[in-house]
Amino acid sequence: MIIIFFIIRVHSLRGYIKHQSWNQIRSLLSQPSITPIMKDCIHKKIYYYYEFLALKQTNLFYKKYWKYCTHIPKNELAIYALYGLNKAIRTYNPKYLFYTYAITYINGELFTGLTDLQPLTNLPKQYRKNTTWKNNNRNLFEIKTNPVLIQNDWQIDKLVNNKNKYIDNNIINYYDKIYKYENIWSKINKLDAFTRRIFNLKYDYEFNTIRSTKVVAELMCCSVEQIRIKFETTRTYLFYYENLISNRR
Q: Could you read off the pLDDT of 72-93 as tens digits, one per residue? A: 888 889 999 999 999 999 998 8
d(C-alpha 123, C-alpha 77), whole Å:
20
Which residues are CB-neighbours of 58 under 8 A, at least 6 positions away? 74, 77, 78, 81, 110
Which of 16-25, 123-132, 217-226 comes out lowest in average pLDDT? 123-132
Q: Which pLDDT value is given to residue 125?
A: 60
CA angle (193 as vertex; 70, 206 as ends), nearest 5: 80
Q: Which pLDDT value is given to residue 129?
A: 62
CA angle (35 as vertex; 30, 41 as ends), nearest 5: 85
Q: Which pLDDT value is given to residue 61?
A: 92
d(C-alpha 113, C-alpha 155), whole Å:
30
Q: Do residues 224 and 214 touch, judged by C-beta distance below 8 A?
A: yes
Higher model confidence: residue 70 or residue 165? 70
d(C-alpha 134, C-alpha 118), whole Å:
15
Q: Which pLDDT value is given to residue 170?
A: 47
Which residues are CB-neighbours of 116 under 8 A, at least 6 positions away? 80
Chain Cα centroid distance, residue 126: 14
Residue 152, pLDDT > 70, answer: no
Q: Which pLDDT value is given to residue 235?
A: 78
Cα dihedral sign, 228-229-234-236: positive
Task: Please state the rounded mean pLDDT for residues 147-152.
Answer: 42
Where are the domains positioned within the chain?
2-116, 175-246
Q: Which of 7-16, 115-124, 205-214 has the highest mean pLDDT?
A: 205-214
Mean pLDDT rounded to a whole number for the chain: 74
Kindly calculate the radius of gyration of the chain based on its CA atoms and give it in whole angstroms.
26
Residue 36, pLDDT > 80, answer: yes
Q: What percent of the chain has pLDDT over 70?
A: 65
Residue 136, pLDDT > 60, answer: yes
Higher model confidence: residue 177 or residue 114? 114
